[in-house]
Structure 1
């Protein structure tokens, strides 16, 4: 496939403190998705920065067994292990960062720490966390300050959304505060919290944030193909991109992104046989981490994403969605005739979609933007968000 933007100039590497990210591509944390197996698979296709699932700071500080397992670095990640933290209390966030940096509870010292202020899930926002928190700008400042201070030479970045809704916009204040407190970069998802994952992301605020702050701005939202990333950079001036749902069932997208940002028009259109090999590799990596039965069970959620657009019988699809062993998976995939990649699905949304809805917030949350108190009961004890 030839890109319409094949003449685009190469994007320079992203510099986060002492960490160089080349190409300037980041895998967005996704709960239940960006585990060590998926990060390894994506890294095999292209370079960049691959962030683990969101880790809750309270669970980390209390040494929750599941969280300590989730935060372990995968083999080969030592030089670029990246962790995203969710927290609402500055002291807890600071302590969690200390554990990662000084105690190396992940098995290695992280090369990068990201702070999540973008989660729009109601169970998070109704307690003042995630994308609701930047509205409380003093609390937001104190959390970023605590993280940066505890991280020392490890770069800390911030991820957020445009705001709670169109009447409660927070991203410009968040960008200025993050910059003032020493954040190395800020990522902006081009939706408000009430939009969840509906409609089309608005990239104009990304461009405005680029004009407002001096630290690098990363763009996020509706990056389904490598050429979308080129277009986002061209339209907004962002220093790099953060890719989430676009890589579901398509880990080779990172190879396309690396090529695009190097100025190449090369794009990957794998045949079904090639996709089947990638599926088996993914399941094998999960099995190595979790055991064969649990790994294959975890893999089931990925099947529909990998098969999107391919001609696969309904009986085979159902069987693949219930697979419990690697040999069984291989046998089912071998029974599907080879076929070209379905170009009709290129650029189509993947993963979760949801209609917009009002954001659940704590009572009185919008009354005082300068209230520094952490929201009561917003800490979560289990990582993954």
Structure 2
């Protein structure tokens, strides 16, 4: 017996109801394919800046890459200007670049919020509504659904998820995802799932929950406790793409969980590096792979010297030699079960444009608000 119904996002059925969160510098075509090889769901690209897309920035166009068998093709767009966002969505639709578009209103990093973007933008409620409405209009008559990802608010004094959720639903989005943290919390502390439950009860469209999904059982618990339609998984899958196999099992009511030996992890590491190299060559792919090494080896008995060498790997041949030195029989470190992964930076001041909080109905943004680069 399944724990949750399949998720419906426009014409797309997502079963199990699991979404890979867009993560800058992580969720490229190689990582998405690796995750898909372990389980099913909706796998979203890393953030694509609308200005860079409409200007056909070379790096951005490379990020708009999908495997031939990747269906549906899901892209996340970031923008603060309704017209530029609309033009970017029109470009995606007209050139058949993706089958689903998510809009980023949840990013808390300073380079985004200081321009009024990401998790800062929903405070400007009329601007937020204008952006979402323009994006939805740009998909009229097509089968491409628009979704929105956001946070609880800027901080406890500037909570935005209620107004933003209603505005998104009124605009015609297919679903809303809510991260149970404010921008000021960044990635620290514990996610608050209560706003997720509140929004799920308030809206007719599907509401997805995000925050502190470290294990598959966390996802099932979130759905059970909040009534959300599905979950968005981010840092929990870093160095653990097999989490998607666990999620499929958990939502199907099966007890099995993947607990790989170090040798099995080495096989996954090799596959990940191979996919990166096949996408953009070894000279780019292997250096990009380095950031994943610590996540894959977290908790396993690997000496500091070998860890350091793996973190400097440059070729697949070199990687093969280093992986062969691992203790293949080392068991899964059970002490890591349920532990946070990735960055866990706690509360920090949210950098905002001057006067940003003066008027929530203002439609203006800083002159340099549109980022001209995408990804990490």
TM-score by length of 1: 0.95
CA distance in 1, matches of 2:365, 2:358: 15
Asked if residue 73 in structure 1 is aligned to residue 66 in structure 2, the reply is: yes
Aligned to 1:147: 135
Asked if residue 213 in structure 1 is aligned to residue 203 in structure 2, the reply is: yes
Aligned to 2:113: 125
SS of match in other structure, 1:51: strand
What root-mean-square deviation, in Å, do the aligned CA atoms of Structure 1 and Structure 2 show?
A: 1.0
Equivalences for residues 1-385 of structure 1 within 5 A: 9-77=2-70, 79-104=71-96, 106=97, 110-152=98-140, 153-337=143-327, 338-384=329-375
Offset, 1:9: 4.4
Offset, 1:103: 1.8
Offset, 1:376: 2.6
Contact 1:88 1:375 (C-alpha < 8 Å) held by counterparts:
no
Offset, 1:374: 3.4
CA distance in 1, matches of 2:357, 2:298: 42
CA distance in 2, matches of 1:30, 1:304: 17
Aligned length: 373
CA distance in 2, matches of 1:75, 1:17: 21
Post-superposition, which runs of at least 4 consecutive aligned residues in structure 1 deviate over 4 A?
none
CA distance in 2, matches of 1:346, 1:327: 32
CA distance in 2, matches of 1:135, 1:376: 18
Aligned to 1:5: none
CA distance in 1, matches of 2:367, 2:227: 39
Contact 2:3 2:220 (C-alpha < 8 Å) held by counterparts:
no
Deviations 1:256-310 (A, max 9, x none): 0011111111110011111100000000000101111221111000000000000
Greater mean alpha carbon deviation, residues 145-154 or residues 129-138: 145-154
SS of match in other structure, 2:363: coil
Contact 2:115 2:365 (C-alpha < 8 Å) held by counterparts:
no
CA distance in 2, matches of 1:165, 1:209: 17
Deviations 1:76-125 (A, max 9, x none): 11x31000000000100010001111123x3xxx2210000001011111
TM-score by length of 2: 0.97
Offset, 1:200: 0.6
CA distance in 1, matches of 2:148, 2:225: 22
- Which runs of 5 or more structure 2 residues have no equivalent in the other structure? none
Offset, 1:375: 3.5
